[in-house]
Each structure stands twice: as structure tokens, then as C-alpha cells.
Structure 1
Amino acid sequence: MPHAIEYFLAPQSPWTYLGHERFVAMARAAGTAVRVLPMDLGRVFPVSGGLPLPKRAPQRQAYRLVELQRFRDHLGLPLNLHPKFFPVSADPASRLIIAVDLHDGSEAALRLTGAVLTAVWAQERDIADAATLAGLLRECGLAAARLDDAAAPAVQQRYDENTQAAIDRGLFGSPSYVVDGELFWGQDRLEFVQRKLQS
């Protein structure tokens, strides 16, 4: 029986950025469909014990930077440890990804997700800015009308449903991959995701 992957993500997350292209390649190689599920970490954290970055203990903030640099160098990916536009509101980008998923399908949504993540962590672009999002749509070969589509009530409803689904499944961070009901948290767990897909 083919596997199914639910990909819960926050498009401002550096860990999601570090794992995104590897995850997409892995899912494609396995011939596995992916459900792209942007979620609102601002609503997930309070019920899961998480804290926004500025509220975390200094020790945790410092170690986060060490780990980001380790993974950046290990994976050979461009990543600014202190990007110009971070922290940033992820809601506009999340809704845009959902609109693209609804109108153009999951492959297009995955492509846009990768572009949004790269914009934050490699290109110093503001993903809360409509002009930036319009540019990313253009670069991904997607219709400019998706910006208007992202304001539709159905898109906000899907965003709310994704977030509630994350809470109901006991998720607490991004990225989270749910394969046949089994949770894998973090891009450093992708090896286990791959094993699950091959089982």
C-alpha cells in the first residue's frame, strides 16, 4: 500500500528550509504523494510548551545558532544566521502556499514553499511583503492571481484546519512529517522518514 505524507511546516522556519529539498526529492523518489500543510506556530506553541525564539533562554538561542551553522556547512546550503527579515510574520506566505495548493496542486505548492524558505534564509527577502510574494509567484511560474486567491475565506479556513490538525496530532514544531500516522519531527529525522517510506 502506498505511503502518505503529511508535511506540516512553517515557511519562516530555518529547519524547514534545511530539509525541504531533501524531503521533496525523497518523496518523489518513493513515488509518495505529499499533503502540504502550512500551520500557525503562534497557535501551536502555546499548547505544546514551545516558545517563540525571542522568549527562549539565552543558552537555547546560542545553541540554535551553533546547530544552524553545523547543518548549513554539512549540507552545503546558503543560510544567513541572522537574516535581514527575521523574525517575520509567516501568515501571508502560508496562505499563499495554501492558495497555490488549492488551485495548482501539491507539486506547485512544494515549489513555492521552497522559494519562500530560500527567500528568507538565503536571499534576504521579506516574505510578509506582498511585492516579494508576487515576485516569488512569478519566479515559480505561477499566476499572479494567487495573491488575491490567498485572501479567500476558504484559504483561511484551511490554514485554521491545518493548525488544528497539527495540535490534534500532538505536533510541536516545524518541519513535522507524518507518514501513515507516524510523526517525525525535524529535518534531522529525514533518514528515518526514508526508512519508513522504504518499509
Structure 2
Amino acid sequence: MTQIDYYFATLSPYCYLAGTRLEEVAQKHGATINYKPFDIIAGFARTGGTPPGDRHPSRIEYRAQELPRQARKLGMPFNLKPAHWPTNGAPAAYAFIAAQNAGGGDLGKLAHAITRSVWADERDIAEDAVIRDCLEEAGFDAGLADSGLLEGAETYARNLEEAVEAGAFGAPFYVVGDARFWGQDRIGDLDLHLQGKL
């Protein structure tokens, strides 16, 4: 069975815009998804990237046009300047990892609920109540927000190392064997790759 390694960031607007299209593609091809939440800011530092606020004004201005444009194209609500960004994305990542280990819910729905909370719902994903709501929405026990924190931190750090090793320098980033796809706008290319057309 084909495995897709999915490197994502709980704070990434582009991961939010990916919605659940990755899950649809994986289901179509009978592929499994190995979710790997990682620290995107640390990833930028390790791979030659620049955090959004430190970028050249031309890049900041383009991002300000491109994100709402992509959201409109996808028919998704979007706030370019959410009330709780930046925030600490690690607690939500730790809860995601706990849910991944526990099983019983929908990880794709959970990833989307977390990112949607930031970019559409004006909620702070560093808060336990928000994380608990996301877990419940995706069919997981809300108590996972308080469990496995050490293991979550260790996995989160390991995912960063694996991302760098796999050549992932942004999020969302999809890896299938030696093939790499960066960005929510490359899910179609991933689909074609899994069809053997790319």
C-alpha cells in the first residue's frame, strides 16, 4: 500500500486551505497517510526559509493577495489577520500526536479543525478548550489534550528532523517515496503521481 508522509504545521494557512483534499486523494488510491506535525518556524531556519514577518515587503504583499485569492477559489472562509496568530502551535500538535497514537477518530478532520480554528474561527489553538473542541469534533476523546505531552514533544521534535531529512521545507508538504510535493495547490499533482501520470 502506498504511504503519503504528510508534513503539516498547525499554524499554517496553507495547511488550512488544503482542507481534506489530501484525505480524498488518499482514499481514491487506497493510500495511507502518515501525519507528521512539525515546527514550521524551526523548519524555515533549518532549510533556508524566512518566517512570514521577516520576509521582504514584496513577499509579504504577495502573500496578502495570494492567501485570500486561494481561499475564494476554494470557497473557504478566511481571515488574513486572525486574532490569534501567531500563537503557540505546539500544544495542538501534541494533542494531534496523542490522538494519532490513541486512534478512534478522523485525523484529517482533526488537522483541518485545528487550522480552521486559527484562520476562519478566530480561536486560539494554544488554549486547552479550543484543542478539546477540535478533538471532539474529529471523534476523539477531549482528554487527549492533557495526555502524552512528553511523548508528543519528542515526536514533534523528531518530525522536524524527519522533515529536514526528507527535504520538506514548508507546509503542507507531501512525500511519496522519492517524490515530493509542496503546497496545497500541488494536491492535484500528487493525485496524478499516484495515478502514474506524473
Matching of residues 94-113 of structure 1 within 5 Å: 94-104=93-103, 108-113=106-111
1:189 and 1:39 mapped to 2: Cα distance?
19
Q: Write out aligned runs for 1:8-19 (5 A).
A: 8-19=7-18
Deviation at 1:28, TM superposition (A): 1.3
5 Å-filtered alignment, 1:31-70, equals 31-70=30-69
Same amino acid, percent of matched pairs: 36
**Are 1:147 and 2:141 counterparts?**
no
CA positional deviation for 1:55: 0.8
1:29: how far off?
1.5
Give 1:145 deviation, angstroms: 2.0
Which of 24-33 and 134-143 deviates more?
134-143
Is the 2:3–2:176 Cα contact (8 Å) retained in structure 1?
yes
- In structure 1, how many angstroms separate the alpha carbons of the residues matched to 2:137 and 2:186? 30
Post-superposition shift, 1:21?
1.4
1:6 is displaced (CA, Å) by 0.2
2:164 aligned to which of 163, 167, 172: 167
User: Is this contact kept in 1: 2:17–2:184, CA < 8 A?
Assistant: yes
One-letter amino acid of the counterpart of residue 158, structure 1: T
Q: CA RMSD in A?
A: 1.4
> What CA distance in whole angstroms lies between the structure 1 residues aligned with 2:117 and 2:21?
17
Match of 1:189 in 2: 186
| Unpaired segments ≥5 residues, structure 2 | none
Contact 2:16 2:115 in 1 (8 A): yes
User: How far off its partner does 1:131 sit?
Assistant: 1.4
Give the unaligned 5+ runs of structure 1.
none
Q: TM-score, normalised by structure 2?
A: 0.94
Equivalent residue, structure 1, for 2:72:
73
The whole-number CA distance in structure 2 between the counterparts of 1:71 and 1:184 is 18
Q: Give 1:87's aligned residue.
A: 86
How many residues end up aligned between the 2 structures? Answer: 196
Determine the C-alpha separation between the residues in 2 that align with 1:96 and 1:150: 8
The offset of 1:144, in angstroms, is: 2.1
In the alignment, what sits opposite 1:5?
4
Contact 1:100 1:108 in 2 (8 A): no
Verify the 8 A CA contact 1:101 1:108 in the aligned structure 2. no
CA distance in 1, matches of 2:110, 2:189: 25
| SS across alignment from 2:20 | helix
